[in-house]
Structure 1
Amino acid sequence: MTDSNENAPQYEVEIPSREALLALVDERLKPVHIDDFISHFKLDDERQLVGLKRRLRAMERDGQLVYTRANCYGLPDRMQLIRGRIIGHRDGFGFCKPDDGGKDIFIPHHQMYSVLHGDIVLIKPAGTDNRGRPEGRVVRVVEPRDSDIVGRYFVENDIGIVVPDDSRISQDILIPHADNAGARHGQLVVVTITRRPNRRTSPIGKISEVLGDHMAPGMEIEIAMREHDIPNEWPDGLDRELAKYDEEVPKEAYEGRIDLRELPLITIDGEDSRDFDDAVCALPEDKGWRLWVAIADVSYYVRPGTLLDDEAVNRGNSVYFPNNVIPMLPEKLSNGLCSLNPNVDRLCMVAEMEIGPRGKLKQSRFYPAVMNSHARLTYNKVKQILDGDVELREQYKDVLSNIEELHNVYKALATVRKQRSAIEFDTQETRFIFNAHRKIERIEPVKRHVAHKIIEECMIAANVASARLVEDDEDINALFRVHEAPADERLTSFRAFLAELGLNLGGGDKPTPTDYGKLLEEVKDRPDHELIETMMLRSMQQAVYQPENEGHFGLALKSYSHFTSPIRRYPDLILHRAIKAILRKREGTEQSLTGAWSYSEKELDDLGVHCSMTERRADDATRQVDEWLKCEFMLDHIGMEFTGVVSSVTNFGLFVRLDEYQIDGLVHISNLGDDYYQYDNQKGMLIGENTRTIYRLGDKVKVSVKTVDLDERKIDLTLLGAESPTGKQRKRNSGKTQRKKSQGKSSRGKGSNRNKPRKGSKNKGNNPS
C-alpha cells in the first residue's frame, strides 16, 4: 500500500496510504489508537512503525485526522470540527473562514489569544453569539501562518516590541535585544515569529529585515508586498533560462506562421505604458469589417515545466502600484521580446474576426503569426486624431484609415453592447501625480473617452471569440472568466439603499443586466449617480476564473474568457496554450504551435482558484497602497474644508467621499452634534433621538479634515453642514470651524498615533487582551 498523493514523501518500506488509514478510522465507532493501526495492517518492521507515525503526524498537520487526549486518532467531521483560516479583526476578535465554504464563524477575543491572522485551524462550533452569528472555539492550529509580519519597531523600558502594520494582527510581538537586527526606534521591519502566542504570553519574534524609516518614499509598497505575500524576487537559475533568448525573435520561430508584417497593426495604450501586449487593425469588408486583434505570443517563450513558468504561476498576474509595477514576467520578456513595440518583428497569436454592419460577430479564426507594429499610439492621441487634430492626422497618415475604421467598428460593437444590456459603469477614477521625491503633488481625475472604449470593445470581441472556440472543443479546456448574478444578501441591501432614494431595481429576485441598465439610465443625470453606481458595483459578485462556463453577468455574455493580456495575466497564457492545442489537433504544424498544452480538469480547477486568489491579492495590495498615499496626501490638508457626499453609513458614523479628490474620510458619530444617534440597519441611516436629524447615503455634506492617521490609514473629518440629496438644507448642531489654509509644507507624521507603542497595551500581563 502506497500513498496516492504524488507529492507525499516516499518511504523506504511499504506503509499504509492515507486513504487506507482514513478508511480504517472511518469504519470504527470510536477514535483509533496507534496500536490498532499496527495490528490491523500487520506492521512489524521498525522502519514501518517510524513511517506510520510520520504519516499520522502529517495527516494531523493537514487536518485530516485529530489527535485526542486519549492518544487516539479521529476524524474531524465526526468530532464536529471545522477546518478553516483565521481572519483577524482590528478590535481583537476574529472569524474562521471554513475551507469547505459556508458562513464565517465568529471567534471571540479570548479565543484569539493563541492564534494569528492567517493560521489554518480546527474549530468546534459553540452555538451563536448575542448577534446571532455562529460562534466557534479554537481546538488546534493545524498550519501556522508561514508569512512574516511587517510592523514598526519600538523600544520602551529597554523592551523591544513590533506593532504589526496589519490591523488584523492584534498582538504586539516581543523582540529580544539580540534579535533586533540593529533596528532603530520607529523603523519599519519584517519579523519572523520564533515562538507562537498562547493564552498567557505574547508572540516572540526575530527581525529578519529592516525596511527603513516610516515615511521613506516607496515604503508603502514594500509593506503591501510583504503583508499580502506578493512575490517580488526572481528565483535563482532564472537567468540561465532567459539567456537562450536574444533581443530579437529567433529565426526558427517564423516557420509555419502567417506573415502579417504588412498589415497596419497599431498599439493604443496609456501614456506611461511600457508593455504592449495587444495590437489592432480594422479594414472595411462587405458592408462590415474584418478586425484583427494580435496578442503577444507569450506561450512560445514561457513553456510548461520551466522555472519561468513556475514563477509566472506563483505570481499569477502583474501587480500595478502607482508609479511602480511588479511584473508577472521578467523585463526581458514583458518589455522586450513579448512587447509589441513599434517597427520590430514580434510573434503573436491572432484573433481574426468578421464583424457585421450592425456589430454582430459573424465568425472568427485563430492562428500564430509574425507582425510588425506600424505605430505606437496613446489614448489621448487617438482621441485628438478623431477630433480632427491636423498635425497628428498628418503625422499618422499611414495608419489614419485604420484608426477611423476602428472607430466605426467600435460604434457598431457599442450598439450591440447596448442591445444586450451590458452594464456600463461610469464611476470617477483618479491617478496620483508624483514629484521628483516620489511624493504626491496632486490627484487628477482619469477621463475615460472614446479611444479607451475602442480598445475595450475590440478586446471584448476577441475574448468572446476565444471563449466560443474553447467551448466548442470537446477535448481541450481552459479557464473562463465567470461573473455570476448578484447574491441574495447583497441584492437585498442594494434594494434597501435604492428604496431610501425613491428608486427601484426591476427583476424581482433575479434581476437581469437589462434591469440594471434601466436603473443606470434612470439615474445618469442625478447629482448622486456616482454613489448609486458605486453601491451597485458593491452589490455585484466578484468575477472569478474557472473551467466551467457560467457566463458573464456584467457584460451580459454567455461565453467569456481572457485572451488579450498573457504578459500580465496567467489565465490568458493558459488560454493561448489551449488554443494552440486545438489548432494542432485540427491542422497546425508542430513548429508554429510550440507552447501548445492541454490541461486536465484537476489542473484547471486548481489554477482557477489560484489565479482568482492572486487577482484578489493584487487588488487588496494596490488598494492598501492607494489608501496610504491618500492619507499621506491629506496630511497637508488638515483643517481645510471640502464638499462631499455620504458614501457609507455605519453604527459608528458616516464615511464621506470628498468631491475634489474622491478620497473617503470618517465623521465619527460623536462629532455629529448634541444628540444621541441610533443606527437603522435596514434603512442604512443614523437618526437623532431628539432632533430627528437623519443622515443617509447620498447626503451632500461640508466637512473639514480633522486628523490623519497614516498607520491605520484613516482620515477623520468634522461635519460642518449637510443637505439631503434633494438640496434641502438641514439644521446641524455642530459648531462652526474656521477654514485653515494649507501652509504649502509637508506635515509628515502629523496626526499619526504610532510615534510610540499602543497606549493601554493590548497585553494583559503578557497576554493579548
Structure 2
Amino acid sequence: MSKNDSKNNPEQPEYEVEIPSREALLEAVESRLKPTTFEEILERFELTDERQHVGVKRRLRAMERDGQLIYTKANAYGLPSRMNLIKGRIIGHRDGFGFCKPEDGGNDLFIPPNQMYSVMHGDKVLVQEQGTDPKGRREGRIVRVIEPRDASIVGRFFIDHDLGIVVPDDSRINQDILIPEEARNGARHGQIVVVTITRRPNRRTSPIGEVTEILGEHMAPGMEIEIAIREHDIPTDWSPATLAEVDKLADEVPAEAYENRADLRELPLITIDGEDSRDFDDAVYAEPEGDSWRLWVAIADVSYYVRPNTALDKDALERGNSVYFPNFVVPMLPEKLSNGLCSLNPEVDRLCMVAEMKVSSRGKLQQAKFYPAVMKSHARMTYNKVADILDGDPQLRQQYEQILTPIENLHELFKVLKKARQKRAAIEFETLETRFIFNAQRKIESIEPVRRNVAHTIIEECMIMANVATARLIEQHDEAGALFRVHEPPSSERLTNFRSFLGELGLSLKGGDDPSPNDYADVLEQVRDRPDAELIQTMLLRSMQQAIYTPDNAGHFGLALDEYSHFTSPIRRYPDLVLHRAIKALLKKVEGPSKALEGAWMYPDEQLDELGEHCSMTERRADDATRQVDEWLKCEYMQDHVGEEFTGVIASVTNFGLFIRLDDLHIDGLVHVSNLDNDYYHYDSERHLLIGENSRRVYRLGDKVKVRVRSVDLDERKIDLTLLSAESPSGKQRLPEPKSKDKDESSGKPKSKRQQKREKNGKVKAKRAKVEKQRKAKKKTTGKKK
C-alpha cells in the first residue's frame, strides 16, 4: 500500500516492504477509546518484519509533523481532535504576544508572551485552548510546532560587543537572531541582510541563524522593494529550465500558429492603458448593430505559449500574478512574453482569444462566442488621450482621426453599460489612488493623486462584460473546470460594525440582516457630496469580504452579478490563464484538435480547489508586499517634513490613539493617546470614538483635524503626529457637559471621578447619620409616652 501512496504523493517515501497507509493508521487510532501505543499498532496490523517497524515509525513521525497525530507523554499516539487541539498559523505582534489563526476558519486564539518564546511568526502549530484572558479573548497554549516557517528572514545586521545580531525588519518577529562569527559571510554593521534559521528558539535561548545574502546599505534606493520581496517570499528568479524554454521561442508569431484562426487584423481593435504600461493584455472594438451593439474583446493568447506542466508554467503558477511596485515589476511571465510575444503591441501580428458579444440596447448580454484569432492593434492609446479626445481636443482628434469612430462607439456603448450597471445597483467606489514621483536618485519629490477618467470606466465596463460572458460559458459546461472570481456578502460582525459607524453619523443601511448591493449603493449616493464621503467609503470597503478565486460559483456581491470570472489579463494573472485553457478545451471538444487550440487543458476538481487557494494567497501576498513598500516610501517622504503642520481627518480610532489621514498626501499617521490633552481617555469600540473622562472631549471618525508631524520611525514604518485642533463635521465637539453639581465651584472645572466618589460617600454617611439620629429621637419620644 505504501508504494501506491508514494505514487500519489511524491513527498512520501517509498518503503521496501508493505506498511499501513496513513488512512489505515488513523483509522486504527480512531477505533480505540484511548491513545494507541506503537506496540499496539504493530500487533493490530501483525507487523513482524523489523523493516516494517522502521517504516511504520517513520510514517507515524511524518503524521506527527503534519499534525494528524500527537505523541503523548504516556508514549502513545492520540488524535488532536480528541485532545481539544487546534491546528493553525502563528501571527506575531510587535508587543510580544501573538495569535493562532486556526486552519478551520474559527476565531483566533490569543497567545500570551510567555508562550511566544519558542515559536516564530508564520509557524504552523498545535494549540490547546486554555479558557479566556482578562479581556475575554480565547487564550491558547502552544503544544507543538508541526511546521516551522520556511521563509528567510530579512533584517538589519549589528555587531554589539563582538556579538552578531540581526534585528528582523518584520515587527511580528520579536526575537533577535544571533549570528556566530563564522556565519556572518561578510556582513557589515548596519547592512540589510537575509538570514536562515539554523537553530530554533526556545524558552531559554534566542534563535541562531546564518547570513545567506547581503542586500546592501540601510537607506539604499530600492531597498524597501528588496526587503518586501524577501519578507513576503515573492519568487524573482526563473528556473534554468524556464530560461531554456523561453530561449527557444521565436521573436515573432510562428507561421504554424496562424492556422485555424480567425483573421481580425483589419478590425480596428485598439488598446487603452496607463501611460507607463508595457504589457497590453486586451484590445477592444465596438460597433452598433441595429438597436443593439456588437463588442469584440481580444485578449492575449498566453495559453498558446505557456503550456500546462512545462517549466515556464510551473514558474508562472508559483508567482500566481505579477507584483507591481512603484517603478518596478515582478512579472508573472518572462519579459520576452509579457512585453513581447504576448503583449498586444501596435502594428504587429499577435495571437489572441476573442470574446465576441452581442449587447442589447439596455446593456444586457444577449449572445457570446469565443474563438482563437490573429489581430493587429491599430493604436496604443492611453486613458488620458482617450478622455481628451472625447472632450474634444482638436490636436488629438486630428492625430487619431482614423480611429475616432471606434473610440466614440466605445463611449456610446459605455453609456448603455453604465445605465445597466446602475440599474442592477452595483457598488461604485470612487477611490483616490496616489503615485510617487521620483527624482534621479530615486528619492520621492512629490506624491500626486491618480484620478480616474471616463476612459478607465469604458475599459472597465468592456472587461466586466467579457468576464461575465466567460463565467456563463463555464457555468453552462460542468466539465470545463475553471476558477470564478467570487465576492461574498459582508459577514454579520462586519455588518454590525458598519451599521454602528453609520449610526454615529446619522446614516443607516437598509436591508436588515441581508442587505443587497443596492442598499450599499444607496449609502454611497447619500454621502456623495459630504466632506467625509471618502472616509465613509473607506469604512464601507472595510466592511466587505475579500474577493477570492474558487471553482464554486457564488456570484460577485460588489458588482451585483450572479456569475463572474477573470478572463482579461492572462499576462499578469494565472487564474485568467486557467480560464483560457478551459475555453480552448471546450472548443476542442466541439471543433476537434487544431494548432490554434493547442494549450487546451481540463483541470480536475481537486486541482481547481488547490489552484483557487493558491491564487488567492498569491494575490494577498502581492497586496501585502506593495502596501509595505508604500508605507515605507511614505515614511521616507515624511522624514523631510518633521515639524510641519497639515490638515487631515480621523480615519481610525483605537484604544491607543487616533490614526489621521493627511489631506492631499493620503498618508496615515498616529496621534498616540498619551499625546492628547491631559486626561484619561476611554475607547468606545461600538461608536468608534475616544472620550475624555474629565474634559468630556470626544474624538470620533470623520473629525477634521490639524496636526504637526512629531517624528518618523522608518524601521517601524510609523509616523507620529501631535494634535493641534479638531472639529467634527457636524460641529459637535463634546458630549453634553456634566451638570453643575459635578463641577468644582472654586475652579469651575469638572470634578474628577475620585473627588465625586469621595463627596458621594460623604453624603451617604451624612444621610445615614441623620437617619440614625431621627431613629434614636423617635425611640426616646416613644419611651416617654409609655
Query: Pairwise mapping of residues 249-648 of structure 1 onto structure 2 (< 5 A)?
Result: 249-648=253-652
Q: Does 1:99 align with 2:94?
A: no
Q: Does 1:689 align with 2:693?
A: yes
CA contact (8 A) 1:122 1:138 kept: yes
Query: Pairwise mapping of residues 145-156 of structure 1 onto structure 2 (< 5 A)?
Result: 145-156=149-160
Structure scoring higher RCO (CA < 8 A, sep ≥ 6) equals 1
Q: Does 1:233 align with 2:214?
A: no
The residue identity in structure 2 corresponding to 1:6 is N
The residue identity in structure 1 corresponding to 2:206 is S
Determine the structure 2 residue equivalent to 1:117.
121
Determine the structure 2 residue equivalent to 1:162.
166
Instruction: Please state how far the C-alpha of 1:133 moved relative to its aligned partner.
Output: 1.4
| 2:705 aligned to which of 701, 707, 710 | 701
CA contact (8 A) 2:696 2:734 kept: no
**How many pairs align?**
731
Q: Does 1:32 align with 2:36?
A: yes
Q: Find the aligned partners of 2:503 and 2:104 in 1 and give their Cα distance.
A: 35
* Fraction of identical pairs, as percent: 71
Determine the structure 2 residue equivalent to 1:144.
148
Instruction: Please state how far the C-alpha of 1:269 moved relative to its aligned partner.
Output: 0.3
The residue identity in structure 2 corresponding to 1:473 is H
Q: Does 1:45 align with 2:54?
A: no
Q: Does 1:171 align with 2:171?
A: no
Determine the structure 1 residue equivalent to 2:9.
6
Relative to the length of structure 1, the TM-score reads: 0.94
CA contact (8 A) 2:697 2:733 kept: no
SS of equivalent residue, structure 1 residue 77? helix
1:154-200 deviations in Å (ceiling 9; x for gaps): 11122111111101101111111221122121111111111111011
The structure where helix makes up a greater share of residues is 2
CA 1:531–1:540: 2 relative to 1, 3 Å: same
Instruction: Please state how far the C-alpha of 1:399 moved relative to its aligned partner.
Output: 1.2
CA contact (8 A) 2:242 2:315 kept: no
Determine the structure 2 residue equivalent to 1:203.
207
Q: Find the aligned partners of 2:466 and 2:308 in 1 and give their Cα distance.
A: 24
Instruction: Please state how far the C-alpha of 1:100 moved relative to its aligned partner.
Output: 1.5
Q: Does 1:62 align with 2:66?
A: yes
Q: Find the aligned partners of 1:34 and 1:590 in 2 and give their Cα distance.
A: 58
The residue identity in structure 1 corresponding to 2:602 is S
Determine the structure 2 residue equivalent to 1:222.
226
CA contact (8 A) 2:705 2:725 kept: yes
SS of equivalent residue, structure 2 residue 712? strand
Q: Find the aligned partners of 2:138 and 2:318 in 1 and give their Cα distance.
A: 34
SS of equivalent residue, structure 1 residue 535? helix
The residue identity in structure 2 corresponding to 1:705 is V
SS of equivalent residue, structure 2 residue 449? strand
CA contact (8 A) 1:471 1:477 kept: no
Relative to the length of structure 2, the TM-score reads: 0.92
The residue identity in structure 2 corresponding to 1:666 is L
Instruction: Please state how far the C-alpha of 1:588 moved relative to its aligned partner.
Output: 4.6
Q: Find the aligned partners of 1:595 and 1:424 in 2 and give their Cα distance.
A: 37
Q: Find the aligned partners of 2:24 and 2:93 in 1 and give their Cα distance.
A: 40
Instruction: Please state how far the C-alpha of 1:357 moved relative to its aligned partner.
Output: 1.7
Q: Find the aligned partners of 1:78 and 1:696 in 2 and give their Cα distance.
A: 46
Q: Find the aligned partners of 2:249 and 2:159 in 1 and give their Cα distance.
A: 51
Q: Find the aligned partners of 1:140 and 1:345 in 2 and give their Cα distance.
A: 58
Instruction: Please state how far the C-alpha of 1:510 moved relative to its aligned partner.
Output: 0.9
Determine the structure 2 residue equivalent to 1:651.
655
1:713-743 deviations in Å (ceiling 9; x for gaps): 0000011111111256779xxxxxxxxxxxx
Q: Find the aligned partners of 2:512 and 2:393 in 1 and give their Cα distance.
A: 49
SS of equivalent residue, structure 2 residue 299? strand
CA contact (8 A) 2:698 2:733 kept: no
Q: Find the aligned partners of 1:480 and 1:198 in 2 and give their Cα distance.
A: 44
Q: Find the aligned partners of 1:163 and 1:239 in 2 and give their Cα distance.
A: 36
Q: Find the aligned partners of 1:454 and 1:439 in 2 and give their Cα distance.
A: 34
CA contact (8 A) 1:256 1:589 kept: no
CA contact (8 A) 1:94 1:107 kept: yes
Q: Structure 2: which 5+ residue stretches go unaligned?
A: 736-786
CA contact (8 A) 1:562 1:572 kept: yes
Instruction: Please state how far the C-alpha of 1:40 moved relative to its aligned partner.
Output: 2.1
My pick for the range that moved more, 616-625 or 237-246, is 237-246
Q: Find the aligned partners of 2:538 and 2:86 in 1 and give their Cα distance.
A: 35
Q: Find the aligned partners of 2:596 and 2:724 in 1 and give their Cα distance.
A: 67
Q: Find the aligned partners of 1:125 and 1:529 in 2 and give their Cα distance.
A: 43
Determine the structure 1 residue equivalent to 2:773.
none
1:676-727 deviations in Å (ceiling 9; x for gaps): 2111111111111111110000000000111000111000001111111125
1:517-568 deviations in Å (ceiling 9; x for gaps): 1111100000000000000000000000001100000000000000000000
The residue identity in structure 2 corresponding to 1:96 is C
Q: CA RMSD in A?
A: 1.2
SS of equivalent residue, structure 2 residue 351? strand
Q: Find the aligned partners of 1:6 and 1:719 in 2 and give their Cα distance.
A: 59
1:101-132 deviations in Å (ceiling 9; x for gaps): 11111111101000000111111111111122
Q: Find the aligned partners of 1:191 and 1:458 in 2 and give their Cα distance.
A: 47
The structure with more radius of gyration: 2
Q: Find the aligned partners of 1:474 and 1:661 in 2 and give their Cα distance.
A: 49
CA contact (8 A) 1:722 1:730 kept: no
SS of equivalent residue, structure 1 residue 39? helix
Determine the structure 2 residue equivalent to 1:748.
none
Q: Find the aligned partners of 1:182 and 1:488 in 2 and give their Cα distance.
A: 54
Q: Find the aligned partners of 2:433 and 2:128 in 1 and give their Cα distance.
A: 44
1:216-247 deviations in Å (ceiling 9; x for gaps): 00000111111111111111221211122111
My pick for the range that moved more, 502-511 or 455-464, is 502-511
CA contact (8 A) 2:635 2:718 kept: yes
Q: Find the aligned partners of 1:366 and 1:159 in 2 and give their Cα distance.
A: 65
Q: Find the aligned partners of 1:19 and 1:440 in 2 and give their Cα distance.
A: 58
Instruction: Please state how far the C-alpha of 1:26 moved relative to its aligned partner.
Output: 0.9
The residue identity in structure 1 corresponding to 2:264 is L
The residue identity in structure 2 corresponding to 1:448 is R
CA contact (8 A) 1:649 1:696 kept: yes
Q: Find the aligned partners of 1:566 and 1:214 in 2 and give their Cα distance.
A: 36
SS of equivalent residue, structure 2 residue 237? coil
CA contact (8 A) 1:642 1:660 kept: no
The residue identity in structure 1 corresponding to 2:675 is N
The residue identity in structure 2 corresponding to 1:341 is N
Instruction: Please state how far the C-alpha of 1:361 moved relative to its aligned partner.
Output: 1.3
Q: Find the aligned partners of 1:283 and 1:672 in 2 and give their Cα distance.
A: 61
